[in-house]
Structure 1
Amino acid sequence: MIRIRLTADDLAGVRFAPRPAPLQELNTAFLMMGRPDDGLLFGAWRRRLARSLPATVRPLADLVPAGVAPGFLDVFDDSLSAALDRPRAWRRDLVRAELERVYACAPATTPVPVWIRALHRGDADAWRVLRRGQRAAFEVAVRPVWGVVQDLHQAEFTRYAVTAAEFGIGAALGGLVAGARLLGQVWELDAPVEQQVDVAGRGLVLAPTFHWTGHPLVCDLPALPDLPVVVTYPAGPGTPLPADGVGRAGRPGDPRAGLAGVLGRTRFELLLLLADEHTTSDLARLVGVSNATASAHTAALRGAGLITTVRAGRSVLHRRSALGDLLVRGSGHQECEEVRGL
């Protein structure tokens, strides 16, 4: 059971995250990968994701040697760039303490990788290993469904706001997830763990997630009193999110579906991804085509003036052009502007 103690001021100041958090959605996707198989759909999703993750993601597993993650991985910024920088803003002594805590939970024979020892020392290269791994994992696991996540988050935000406005904050908290109840100034959440949290004026933020279907997850970091307590709760459909056919560009009559029809689904997906720079091989992996096919599509987009390409060593980097930006915005694909800030 999770019990969260709130004063009257805490209750009055409960906030709902206005936008989804990229790295928290990634964290819950990884949690979901580690759950027992819930059927053919989840099994296929896990296998596909495991095959797609690049080698740069593998070091992330070293941060959870016993299934317990260090607190600096709980990041709730709604900009990917800011989220990737957030762990390094932690005080060095707190980073060390968190790494020591998670390895203390592991069997005594568990080796501590070299890069983890370097991270413990505050080595800049070790922080770059973490940042590269998180970014690569987001691109593969979350980016293809980010528009769907944004839609679902907005719908959940509206549901909560309507309930709170019509019936009050108590009803909204009590109806947030199954097994939730507000008893006086204690909010109880059913969970297979025992956790006592005292908000004590720090603030409480509610953050829905759409990959995780387990119990609510509470981020409580008393050592960082400037940070609020965050409750991440499952609000998704209970199945892996679809990467296409559902969401912003999948509705009948949506002008974005028209743009996809003109360009073709693959070129449309590439144009969305190229809000950020990517190599040809990155694009091939992200949309699930061969390098040769990705190269042919980028050549067509470049020929139409929708992307630019520059050489960087042995690779080439593609990015959406101003004309491509204009075309995407004109189609009403609003999340592309949000992705640009990631």
Structure 2
Amino acid sequence: MLRVHFTAEDFARVRFAPRPSPVAELHAALTMLGAPHEELLFGRWRGRLLRALPGAAGPLADLVPGGSPPSFLDVLGETREEGFALLRETRPELVRSELERVYAGRAAAPPWLRGLHEGDAGAWRVLERAQRAAYETVLAPVWPLVQDLHRAEFTRHALAVAERGLGAALAERVPGSRLRDGVWEWPGATAVRREVRLGGRGLVLLPTFHWRGGPLVQDPPGRPVVLALPAGRGLPLAAPDGAPPGEALAGVLGRTRAALLHALSDGPRTTTDLARRLGVSNATASSHTQALRTAGLLTTTRTGRSVHHERTPLGTLLIS
């Protein structure tokens, strides 16, 4: 069982990661690569990626000799560069203690890891090169899909909080969990009972679309606790067949309505302006704006004889 203890201050500091985190998602995918379960669904995915991983990514395997990675790898960051920078800023004492933990009772660590233990700049460059190589093979081909899935999860959570409150939204994130007396309880989430105390640091909910096991808890000292929660379709992610980013939205709304929302990126526009930009008649543009307005994705304001359409925050969220 996992038990997350909230203070009153923590409830005001619960947030949903606004965008997927490349480094965190990469580590979830690499953890899934080494996991033995769900062979039927993930066996071919693992085999394909393991064959494709370049030699430069090899040092990453040295970090998980027993299948449990060091916690200093758990960083956020909305871009790869930001994530790598946060990783490089890890306190030296945490790097040393975590490397000693994962290698306790095992054979001597490889030379580059001993260098990382000592804070050697060259060892950090080895780690960064390995992560970049792994990212290009494992994550880059499916990153547009990860972004689309994250937007869908963000929207679902935001609507749940608005309609039913934070407590209900948290329980919905993890079926079978419950929030009572300031403790979020997840029966069966871990093999042994684990207590996580936020202590005013707050909580970040981060969906991950590769890891299919229990929650991945990032509990760095002095920082918000991050819970990486399995989300998405529950299947291995496959690269889109030439589909550009945002194509998933067009598949749901239709190409014209998706294009109409994008056309409002620079601010409100009239029906005539939208029709001209989309290459459709005024009547067709009006029909699409009505459908999007009914769905809560745009608002319409009449000023004299002019009608202006503007995206709602939800509409902006769907295409951001």
TM-score (norm 2): 0.74
Quick one: which amino acid aligns to residue 247 of structure 2? A
How far apart are residue 118 of structure 1 and its match?
0.7
Contact 1:84–1:135, Cα closer than 8 Å, also in 2: no
Contact 1:181–1:187, Cα closer than 8 Å, also in 2: yes
SS of residue paired to 1:26: helix
TM-align CA RMSD: 2.1
> Superposed, which structure 2 residues align to 1:104-143 within 5 Å?
104=104, 107-108=105-106, 110-143=107-140
Q: Which runs of 5+ in 1 are unaligned?
A: 256-337
Q: What is the rounded CA distance, in whole Å, between the counterparts of 2:140 and 2:181 in structure 1?
A: 41
Which digits, 9 at most, give the CA deviation of each residue in 1:169-200, with x for residues without a partner? Answer: 00001111222210120001231332111101
The structure with the largest alpha-carbon Rg is: 2
1:66 matched to 2:40: no
Shifted more, 6-15 versus 160-169: the winner is: 6-15
Q: What is the rounded CA distance, in whole Å, between the counterparts of 1:3 and 1:154 in structure 2?
A: 27
Contact 2:34–2:67, Cα closer than 8 Å, also in 1: no
How far apart are residue 212 of structure 1 and its match?
1.1
Which digits, 9 at most, give the CA deviation of each residue in 1:204-231, with x for residues without a partner? Answer: 110000111111111112xx31x10001
Contact 1:95–1:120, Cα closer than 8 Å, also in 2: yes
Pick the aligned partner of 2:144 from 144, 147, 150: 147
Pick the aligned partner of 1:192 from 183, 190, 193: 190
> Superposed, which structure 2 residues align to 1:49-64 within 5 Å?
49-64=49-64
Quick one: which amino acid aligns to residue 183 of structure 2? V
With over 3 angstroms needed to count, the CA separation of the structure-2 counterparts of 1:52 and 1:178, relative to structure 1, is: same
Q: What is the rounded CA distance, in whole Å, between the counterparts of 2:37 and 2:96 in structure 1?
A: 34
Q: What is the rounded CA distance, in whole Å, between the counterparts of 1:254 and 1:34 in structure 2?
A: 39
Shifted more, 26-35 versus 142-151: the winner is: 26-35
SS of residue paired to 1:179: coil
Aligned residues: 252
How far apart are residue 249 of structure 1 and its match?
3.4
Which digits, 9 at most, give the CA deviation of each residue in 1:263-307, with x for residues without a partner? Answer: xxxxxxxxxxxxxxxxxxxxxxxxxxxxxxxxxxxxxxxxxxxxx
Contact 2:13–2:201, Cα closer than 8 Å, also in 1: no
Find the counterpart in structure 1 of residue 23 from structure 2.
23
Contact 2:217–2:226, Cα closer than 8 Å, also in 1: yes
With over 3 angstroms needed to count, the CA separation of the structure-2 counterparts of 1:254 and 1:56, relative to structure 1, is: farther
Contact 1:17–1:205, Cα closer than 8 Å, also in 2: yes
How far apart are residue 82 of structure 1 and its match?
1.3
SS of residue paired to 1:32: helix
SS of residue paired to 2:170: helix
1:248 matched to 2:250: no
Q: What is the rounded CA distance, in whole Å, between the counterparts of 2:184 and 2:154 in structure 1?
A: 20
Contact 1:213–1:236, Cα closer than 8 Å, also in 2: no
Shifted more, 238-247 versus 135-144: the winner is: 238-247
Q: Which runs of 5+ in 2 are unaligned?
A: 257-319
How far apart are residue 40 of structure 1 and its match?
4.2
Paired-residue identity, %: 53
Q: What is the rounded CA distance, in whole Å, between the counterparts of 2:14 and 2:214 in structure 1?
A: 20
Q: What is the rounded CA distance, in whole Å, between the counterparts of 1:240 and 1:162 in structure 2?
A: 27
Q: What is the rounded CA distance, in whole Å, between the counterparts of 1:20 and 1:49 in structure 2?
A: 21
Q: What is the rounded CA distance, in whole Å, between the counterparts of 2:247 and 2:167 in structure 1?
A: 36
Contact 1:17–1:206, Cα closer than 8 Å, also in 2: yes
TM-score (norm 1): 0.70
> Superposed, which structure 2 residues align to 1:176-255 within 5 Å?
176-190=173-187, 191-193=189-191, 194-221=193-220, 224-225=221-222, 227-245=223-241, 248-249=246-247, 251=250, 254=255
> Superposed, which structure 2 residues align to 1:282-301 within 5 Å?
none
